[in-house]
Amino acid sequence: MEMLQGVMEFQKNLAKDHAQVVPISVFVAVLCLCVVVGHLLEENRWVNESITAIILGCLAGGVILAVSKGNSSHILTFNEELFFIYLLPPIIFNAGFQVKKKQFFQNFLTIMLFGVVGVFISASIITSGSWWLFPKVGFAGLNARDYLAIGTIFSSTDTVCTLQVLHQDETPLLYSLVFGEGVVNDATSVVLFNAIQKIDVTRLSALTPLNVIRDFLYLFLTSTALGITSGLLTALVLKTLCFGRHSTIREITLMVLMAYLSYMLAELFELSGILTVFFCGILMSHYAWHNVTYSARITTRQVQENNIGHATKFLIVKKHVFAMMSFIAETFIFLYVGMDALDIEKWKMSKLNMGTSLGICSTLILLISVARAAFVFPLSAFSNYMNRAHSERGSKITFKHMIIIWWAGLMRGAVSIALAFEQFTFYGVTSDPINATMITTTIIVVLFSTVVFGLLTTPLINYLLPHPTTANDIIRERRYDDAREDMTLPLLSLEESAATNILRAKESLSMLMEMPVYTIHSYWRKFDDAYMRPFFSGPRPVSEHSPA
Amino acid sequence: MEMLQGVMEFQKNLAKDHAQVVPISVFVAVLCLCVVVGHLLEENRWVNESITAIILGCLAGGVILAVSKGNSSHILTFNEELFFIYLLPPIIFNAGFQVKKKQFFQNFLTIMLFGVVGVFISASIITSGSWWLFPKVGFAGLNARDYLAIGTIFSSTDTVCTLQVLHQDETPLLYSLVFGEGVVNDATSVVLFNAIQKIDVTRLSALTPLNVIRDFLYLFLTSTALGITSGLLTALVLKTLCFGRHSTIREITLMVLMAYLSYMLAELFELSGILTVFFCGILMSHYAWHNVTYSARITTRQVQENNIGHATKFLIVKKHVFAMMSFIAETFIFLYVGMDALDIEKWKMSKLNMGTSLGICSTLILLISVARAAFVFPLSAFSNYMNRAHSERGSKITFKHMIIIWWAGLMRGAVSIALAFEQFTFYGVTSDPINATMITTTIIVVLFSTVVFGLLTTPLINYLLPHPTTANDIIRERRYDDAREDMTLPLLSLEESAATNILRAKESLSMLMEMPVYTIHSYWRKFDDAYMRPFFSGPRPVSEHSPA
């Protein structure tokens, strides 16, 4: 009897352990496969990491579906908390940390037009469009808040595909606009989504949009302020503590923890963690990172006089720590989206026939395209008009550029999925057929836009911005570019933040000549050099043209 | 009505979000504080990171206890799955990755004696001692399996304190023995613990110890084999895929994922994940890491002919990625241990008077000291006897060394806590007073040994191994050492694995002259150079004395 009990206890332990171990093992294995396949397909410029991850996720889901005899296709239930608490922060922090600050702030107004005003326009069009068209394709039962949420969910873009094709050196303006919009757009969507959650849908009035905008502005400003504060605080702590001493591991750990803390604090105060951690990333790469490398340089000089240059380069590379965390999180998300596409329970639950499903999806994809066109072209024209004073060759958005910007934002990604799960499920579970339909629809739209639009991106950009070289050259050159970027990009970012980079100055001299720095930006530079840098990033104020 | 529902839903969302956000925020904030305070106390050689984290954890627990009016002192329930699935793998992987392979394998036999045979001896003594003494101090109610588990729980050491004081350059043998024992000991404790879980305590016989040893050997060998296999597989994948191409982020990601996968697979097959991931780390730093740097070197050479040296150093630093993950996990664990010490529920539940508690704890601490002395001194003598052929100054363990080795293993750490939770709680919760007593006892022993023994480590070692310089010099020199280590350690590790390091050769020339490489080790080197390296780490076989 006691022996039997012992055996049962052992089996229970086994089941308990395996409950966590099996799914994690399978998931990590598929993640490995993803990295390897992504690497193998690197030379194929039609396919990118996102598409690979989604397709592999679908395949893995299919295998699991077959093995479990149609019971389940996914091994981890999608949890929007997992997404918002663990996966999103490293991605956004890395985006802020790696952003080319100079270009980002020079094009700040245009980026904000696209990323903020654009989302408002797009969300309004998608909301009203779906409100009008969904009943016509035979799908009813959503309430006002659902329609508002749909508008926001399908306004968040995923620009990974486009950024893999655009060249930073060839089209700096285009690259910075697409990248900047991608980041700001993510944040705006989430902030707007949260603002909409607070609307009292029973008392809609003419004032409601104004209230949403007021809430939005409040969230936007407070979140940004929190991010800037924590970034500066980190810089100050690092500067105060590390003067004359040196422990890189501890410093980087502190940066990671402080960035994460700012994200969590923003969530705690019901602000937008995305915006906070994005600005925290920018501030950290501007001030705090400089302290890390600076203190390293000091210590190194004391130790090995002849080795200073090496040590500096040495430490700058550690930026890659952040890039790696971001890379894993991104692959994880896309893999998950692919795996979740075959979630048989939600498909069974939605109870709609093929035709209606197809109708809803095509309606949404159509609305997405129209809504994006409706703001990209007018806002680009507006931006051109605003910049006409100093707009020569460099800063004018041509019609071809507009088409690329429009196309770049047609893909929908992980943020859409996460918001849809937050709106239409309770902890990833739903029993309502209408909610289940919206989840499956979102997954289809994301899959379709990422795979189909994503595959067409390369040919489209090659057609619109013809490369002067042959295809083989492009591939080879791109590989070189990547390698060179790997070598110089971290350097440039630091040197740029120290405003002392000769290399960069040479490269972009012609651009600088043609496009004078905006007044605001140049005032900021003066203020930064005179007061901010000396206080936050160590005792070495440098003027813009002094050598390194 | 509907409005009320809306408000309630909003409040529910708030509560739901905060349920995760508040504890994580507080925990991350305390973690930040820990890093900062640890940094400030760096010059104080009496206090180390572990002690800081434990004390800060206690303080934070006290504050939370006060704020929650005595209801709860911890914000995250200790979960041994969290520990074994997420926190332990990076620590052990990093240990394997950073281990000085040459010294580790040269002292392999001695390390195994301490780490494996020592744990068996120590566990037997602690088990029989507690079986005999616990009833005498008025504590009864444990069964045979509990006593066996106690033996294992209190045989796992924590050598962090000692390693922070010992100097790798001054006492290489001592350092490598203490470090090596620390790693092997962790693995042995966990493996032995799992082997004991499988004992059928109702049928104890003379064969039982033999069965345990058989199970142990099986686990040890299969786990090691799995680790070696996955390490080699990773090296092969990296070599095959990355030849001529280059994407460091992807390569490092793959290494991290493969190491983690090997750990999870070991857990899945009921093997020892610790051993697996430790050997996986060794193999990866020996072969796979070389591929990462090698492919980088190739690409770099294509891009910038004059920059080769830089690029190599450049990438080697990324080892720090692993060190950072390990650092966060370690701080996390010690912080948690400190916070858990004030867990008021368990204290209330244990229902023992002060005297009995004190009796149990002192008994255990006494047993730990005796059990450790019982194997350190005989096994050291045995090791000296075995090495008498080639033991001149370098490889003989002096009596002072024995005392330091004995002392180094008196501290108990996170593994003890995790094993105690696994044995005496169900998912971190227990309602049995005897189990609660064992948990609180374990926490007290860990706290006491880490803080008291830890604080005495520095004076003891300074007394036994007097430093030729003054106290001020020690501090300054140590800071220099740290910085130099930061500069050269990663380099040395790579160059060592390429067996081409001139710097190292110079430094340790005298040691090499006096202590000839063991026969096994030299055969292995020949085999490695002839077959393993060419196959697993790229097309550049190097002989031991060729220049870099």
Of residues B270, B300, B317, nearest to A487 (C-beta): B300
Q: Would you call A181 exposed, middle or buried from its count of C-beta atoms within 10 A (0-12, 13-18, 19+)?
A: buried
Contact A324 B249 (CB under 8 A): yes
Q: Which of A48, A257, A258, A503 would you mutate first to test chain B, the one with the most B CBs within 10 A?
A: A257
A80-466 is a CATH 1.10.357 domain: no
The 10 Å CB-count burial string (b at 16+, else e) for A341-371 is bbbeebbebbebeeebbebbbebbbebbbeb
Residues of A in contact with B238 (CB under 8 A): none
Which residue, among B227, B286, B183, has the nearest Cα to B524 in the 3D structure?
B286
Contact A267 B17 (CB under 8 A): yes
Contact B248 A486 (CB under 8 A): yes
Taking the C-alpha atoms of residue A387 and residue A503, their distance in angstroms, rounded to an integer, is: 28
CB-based contact A405:A114 (threshold 8 Å): yes
Residues of B in contact with A315 (CB under 8 A): 317
Residues of B in contact with A485 (CB under 8 A): none
Task: Give the pLDDT of residue A392.
Answer: 52
Of residues B28, B242, B324, nearest to A321 (C-beta): B324
Highest mean pLDDT: which range of A93-97, A506-510, B207-211, B232-236:
B232-236
Taking the C-alpha atoms of residue B90 and residue B278, their distance in angstroms, rounded to an integer, is: 10
Contact B256 A324 (CB under 8 A): yes
Q: Which of A21, A80, A246 would you mutate first to test chain B, the one with the most B CBs within 10 A?
A: A21
**Where do we find the tokens 């005496």?**
B424
| Chain B nearest C-alpha distance from A254 (Å) | 6
Taking the C-alpha atoms of residue B103 and residue B358, their distance in angstroms, rounded to an integer, is: 42
Rg, chain B, Cα only: 25
Task: Give the pLDDT of residue A427.
Answer: 62
Contact B10 A197 (CB under 8 A): yes
Torsion sign, CA atoms A106, A109, A110, A111: positive
Taking the C-alpha atoms of residue B514 and residue B504, their distance in angstroms, rounded to an integer, is: 16
| Chain A nearest C-alpha distance from B229 (Å) | 15
Task: Give the pLDDT of residue A193.
Answer: 86
CB-based contact A96:A281 (threshold 8 Å): yes
Residues of B in contact with A259 (CB under 8 A): none
**Where do we find the tokens 């970027």?**
A485
Q: Which of B5, B13, B24, B421 would you mutate first to test chain A, the one with the most A CBs within 10 A?
A: B24
Per-residue pLDDT, averaged over A198-217, amounts to: 76
| Chain B nearest C-alpha distance from A437 (Å) | 22
The residues pairing with B429 across neighbouring beta strands, listed in sequence order, are B426
Residues of B in contact with A487 (CB under 8 A): 300, 303-304, 307, 311, 314
Contact B268 A31 (CB under 8 A): no
Taking the C-alpha atoms of residue B394 and residue B103, their distance in angstroms, rounded to an integer, is: 12
Residues of A in contact with B215 (CB under 8 A): none
Taking the C-alpha atoms of residue B361 and residue B54, their distance in angstroms, rounded to an integer, is: 18
Task: Give the pLDDT of residue A121.
Answer: 92
The torsion region of residue B541 among left (phi > 0), alpha (psi -120 to 50) and beta comes to beta
Taking the C-alpha atoms of residue A50 and residue B131, their distance in angstroms, rounded to an integer, is: 59
Contact B267 A310 (CB under 8 A): no
pLDDT above 70 covers what percent of chain A? Answer: 66
pTM here is 0.74
Task: Tell me the pLDDT tens digit for each residue of A20-49.
Answer: 777 788 888 888 888 888 777 766 666 677
Reduce the DSSP state of residue A426 to 3 states and report it: strand
Helix B354-386 to helix B433-448 angle (10° resolution) is 60
Contact B307 A487 (CB under 8 A): yes
| Chain A nearest C-alpha distance from B310 (Å) | 7
| Chain B nearest C-alpha distance from A483 (Å) | 7
Reduce the DSSP state of residue A429 to 3 states and report it: strand
CB-based contact A91:A330 (threshold 8 Å): yes
Highest mean pLDDT: which range of A224-233, A379-388, B98-107, B535-544:
A224-233
Contact B28 A202 (CB under 8 A): no
Q: Which residues of chain B have pLDDT under 50?
A: 1-16, 243-244, 295-318, 393, 469-517, 539-548
Contact B268 A40 (CB under 8 A): no
| Chain B nearest C-alpha distance from A486 (Å) | 8
Contact B28 A257 (CB under 8 A): yes
Q: Which two tokens stand for residue A151?
A: 């508008």
Chain B, nearest residue to A315 by Cα? B317
Contact B3 A200 (CB under 8 A): yes
Per-residue pLDDT, averaged over A63-78, amounts to: 68
CB-based contact B284:B97 (threshold 8 Å): yes
Of residues A258, A300, A320, nearest to B248 (C-beta): A320
Taking the C-alpha atoms of residue B304 and residue A76, their distance in angstroms, rounded to an integer, is: 45
Task: Give the pLDDT of residue A450.
Answer: 84
Per-residue pLDDT, averaged over A175-184, amounts to: 83
Task: Give the pLDDT of residue B311.
Answer: 38
Residues of B in contact with A302 (CB under 8 A): 480, 483
CB-based contact B45:B52 (threshold 8 Å): no
Contact A254 B480 (CB under 8 A): no
Of residues B241, B307, B328, nearest to A39 (C-beta): B241
Chain A, nearest residue to B299 by Cα? A483
Chain B, nearest residue to A308 by Cα? B487
Any residues with CB less than 8 A from the CB of B526 and at least 6 apart, and which? none
Contact A324 B253 (CB under 8 A): yes
The residues pairing with B319 across neighbouring beta strands, listed in sequence order, are none
Q: What are the DSSP calls for B178-200, one per residue?
A: HHHHHHHHHHHHHHHHHHHHT--
CB-based contact A117:A379 (threshold 8 Å): yes
Contact B247 A3 (CB under 8 A): no
Task: Tell me the pLDDT tens digit for each residue of B305-363.
Answer: 334 344 333 344 445 667 777 888 888 877 877 777 776 666 776 666 778 888 889 99
Q: Which of A10, A234, A317, A330 would you mutate first to test chain B, the one with the most B CBs within 10 A?
A: A317
